[in-house]
Structure 1
Amino acid sequence: MDVIVRRTEKLEGAIEALSSKNYTTRYLLAAALADGTSTVRFPAHSEDSDAMRRCIAELGAELEEDDEKIVIKGFGRQPKKIAELNVGNAGAVLRFLLAVSALSEDVHFVNTYPDSLGKRPHDDLIDALTQMGARIDHNGGRLPITVKGPVKGGKVTVSGEVSSQYLSALLFLTPLLEADSEITVTGDLKSKVVVGQTLEVLEQAGIAIEANDDYSLFRVPGGQFYRAGEYAVQGDYPGSAAILAAASVLPSDVTVRRLAVNSKQGERAVVDVLRMMEAPLTHENDIAVVRGTGSLKAVEFDGDAATDAVLAMVAAAVFAEGTSRFYNVENLRYKECDRITDYLAELRKAGADVEEKRDEIIVHGRPQGVAGGVRIDSHYDHRVIMALTIVGLRADQPITIADAYHVAKSYPGFFDDMIALGANVEWVK
């Protein structure tokens, strides 16, 4: 289904932030790797988190769920032998489970999204697992991929140039191996803040890992066990970034609850960036309030630590006075689509004045708005869909976003929340 976004005069109301996809997937995996029963409260409901639920169940975890929690009896270090695993379009889930599957003898990961996840590379993780003794069949570093374990601890090197998810995958795996491991990260590690989230979850699960200050070296004692426990998932900043940015480009009075002020999510930076753009935004007691005027100033921002909020901030910058620059964002190219080239191509169709460099997005703001009146490609990417929706709110003519249902990958209720706040949005077949 497509979505038509029409010019909107005002946003007003209050919503609860959805639960964090990143924390949900990590807590679910930690619970599955534990011997015993764990509880994950306030889990996210999205295609990614649902993919992790489904896959850990296929690997032998037992799950019971109600409206507030998931109770999980883990499989520990002995995932069930299965012939085939389908992660859907969930890149992080794939990478985490590529590593965990090395505890088994033979797991084949199928390719059901050849135009999205099927295009994404996983060479660096494949190389690291091969160093540890895994035998891996793959399609030039892409799906379909077959992993044959077992693996052993020891010294392993992994590149951080493309994605931090490769490192996180190894951090989940190596504590369960008999021998100690030493992980050396080469290159410029992307999204270090997200690695911090992984370490936070591992610590809560009773796993001990020693990391140096710049995350270039990790020492992981072997023979550890994940401790069964209870986890509470915090509100999600990446999804909320789109709501806050939308409220900033229009006259608004919008409240988003359950956004932890002291969160370790890198995308929390959206609060600071929107303030730098002179959006009237307060953030106290885990409640963010935007009383927008529709007037914004240009900004320069290093987006590496806030990858999943960059597209929403770029959308806000489309309407800011002056030229904005978002730099150190090359890893955006290795997501569900190339979130620099593909996203900017759609922004141009809508009437935005944007340009790209290898690791930068430059936005020449148009405070008067954009023309719109086009049908644009979502590239099957949830972040692109949310960001293009922001642009449509201030387009002179309606913007149609193709295949907008893919927003469900991370934020199934995004359009419901936007409509509740007053956005002029309509689903069409």
Structure 2
Amino acid sequence: MKAIVRPTSSLKGEIQALSSKNYTTRYMLAAALAEGESTVRFPARSEDSDAMRRCIRDLGAELREEGETMTIVGFGRHPKPVKELDVGNAGAVLRFLMSVAAFCPEVTFVNKYPQSLGKRPHQDLIDALQQMNVRVTHNDGKLPITIYGGSPKGGRIEVSGSVSSQYLSSLLFMTPLLDEDSEITVLHDLKSKIIVGQTLEVLEQAGIRIEASDDLMHYRVPGRQRYRPQEYVVQGDYPGSAAILAAAAVTESDVVVHRLSEFSRQGERAVVDVLRAMNVPLTHANGDVHVKGNGKLKAVEFDGDQFTDAVLAMVAAAVFAEGTSRFYNVENLRYKECDRITDFLNELRKAGADVEERQSEIIVHGRPEGVEGGVEIDAHFDHRVIMALTVVGLRSHKGLTIRDAHHVAKSYPQYFDHLRSLGAQVDWADD
């Protein structure tokens, strides 16, 4: 489906932030790894979280949902020996479950999205699992991947963190269940340390003990632990809300987004700081972010590794800022559903934006007068690209048509509905 985004001068209203995808998938996994019944309140509804629902059921978890409450009876360290798992296009779900699959005799992760998840690398996690008595066959580090497990071993484990922190998070979820103690050393660099902090937060809530060094590069994980059945409450999602806030920032607006805790550990909470630095009039109190946008922004410089999943939305806002903005330390954006630097910037140029790329930087020469638009552009099957391009379309002179925009459902199925409720002019059309 195509999204036809028409110029929209004003946004007004209030919405509830969707629930956090990152916390939902982690809570669901922690519940599945417990023996007993856990509840997850306000779970996210998206293609990614649905992939986790589907896969933990296939692995033997019992899952029921009623209203805003999910109940999960977990399988502990004894998942059902399934032959195949379909994670859809959910990279984090794949990586988390690759380690869990090591408790099964043989599991193949199939490749349903060869042009997206099928291109993403997983070699660093494969290398770590092979240190743990787990045999893995794969397509040059990519899907399809088959895990031959059954008796994974703890001990000294090394894993690279230079491409993604998800490899480390995967090991942190699995190693507490091993018979042996484990020592995990992160090699090279560790991207998205704040997201690792979310993993450690969830593990602590689940009763798991892990000793982490201050720089998050070394871990001691006692074995023979058990996940505690628990009640979890999912907080509002900053990565998805970032695009709504950016849309409010670049238009004349009076928009409130609820359920965004000012004390959240989500790194993307930094979008509030970025928008403030852009001179966007906003307040943040009692879980509400209130933007009274006037469309007048100034350029900024920020370390994007601190808020990876909101960088594209902030780049979209910077397209209309006075001056040159720079988002650095963002190379990991290249290894997402698409190359979120090259692919995204190519589409921005088609819309009329003045942008440059370096290997780990995005540079935006702002155009406060707006961009021309009036073209059809490619979403590259990427939900974050879709949301960010929509922001640009709203402020363009002639609007934008975004191909494959239905893939926004990967993380934020209600995105266009929420924008329309605020007054955005967006329609659907068949491809």
> 2:322 is matched with which residue?
321
What is the CA deviation profile of residues 298-322 of structure 1, one whole-angstrom value per residue up to 9, with x for unaligned ones? 0000000100000000000000000
3-state DSSP class of the match of 1:393?
helix
The letter for the 2-side match of 1:267 is E
> 1:30 is matched with which residue?
30
**Pairwise CA distance, 1:175:** 0.1
> 1:259 is matched with which residue?
260
The letter for the 2-side match of 1:59 is L
The letter for the 1-side match of 2:306 is A
Question: Normalised by the size of structure 2, how large is the TM-score?
Answer: 0.99
Structure 1 residues 29-178: aligned runs within 5 Å: 29-149=29-149, 150-178=151-179
The letter for the 1-side match of 2:370 is G
> 1:295 is matched with which residue?
296
What is the CA deviation profile of residues 273-311 of structure 1, one whole-angstrom value per residue up to 9, with x for unaligned ones? 000000001000110000000000000000001000000
CA distance, structure 1, for counterparts of residue 267 and residue 399 of structure 2: 33
Q: Is 1:417 matched with 2:418? A: yes
CA distance, structure 2, for counterparts of residue 103 and residue 163 of structure 1: 23
The letter for the 2-side match of 1:136 is V
> 2:214 is matched with which residue?
213
Identity of aligned residues (%): 72
> 1:248 is matched with which residue?
249
The letter for the 1-side match of 2:291 is V
CA distance, structure 1, for counterparts of residue 335 and residue 191 of structure 2: 11
CA distance, structure 2, for counterparts of residue 77 and residue 398 of structure 1: 52
Q: Is 1:272 matched with 2:277? A: no
Question: Normalised by the size of structure 1, how large is the TM-score?
Answer: 1.00
3-state DSSP class of the match of 2:35?
coil
What is the CA deviation profile of residues 141-173 of structure 1, one whole-angstrom value per residue up to 9, with x for unaligned ones? 000000011210000000000000000000000
> 1:349 is matched with which residue?
350
CA distance, structure 2, for counterparts of residue 307 and residue 47 of structure 1: 20
Structure 1 segments (4+ residues) deviating >6 Å: none
Structure 1 residues 396-411: aligned runs within 5 Å: 396-411=397-412
CA distance, structure 1, for counterparts of residue 201 and residue 145 of structure 2: 29
> 1:17 is matched with which residue?
17
The letter for the 2-side match of 1:334 is Y
Pairwise CA RMSD: 0.4
CA distance, structure 2, for counterparts of residue 398 and residue 354 of structure 1: 19
**Pairwise CA distance, 1:340:** 0.1
What is the CA deviation profile of residues 20-69 of structure 1, one whole-angstrom value per residue up to 9, with x for unaligned ones? 00000000000000000000000000000000000000000000101211
What is the CA deviation profile of residues 73-92 of structure 1, one whole-angstrom value per residue up to 9, with x for unaligned ones? 00010000111110000000
CA distance, structure 2, for counterparts of residue 345 and residue 145 of structure 1: 31
**Pairwise CA distance, 1:70:** 0.5
3-state DSSP class of the match of 1:187?
strand
The letter for the 2-side match of 1:409 is K
CA distance, structure 2, for counterparts of residue 280 and residue 387 of structure 1: 20
The letter for the 2-side match of 1:164 is S
Q: Is 1:308 matched with 2:312? A: no
The letter for the 2-side match of 1:324 is S
3-state DSSP class of the match of 1:412?
coil
CA distance, structure 1, for counterparts of residue 250 and residue 300 of structure 2: 14
CA distance, structure 1, for counterparts of residue 155 and residue 347 of structure 2: 46
3-state DSSP class of the match of 1:282?
strand
The letter for the 2-side match of 1:75 is F
3-state DSSP class of the match of 2:144?
strand
CA distance, structure 1, for counterparts of residue 177 and residue 374 of structure 2: 55
**Pairwise CA distance, 1:398:** 2.2
The letter for the 1-side match of 2:347 is E
**Pairwise CA distance, 1:197:** 0.2
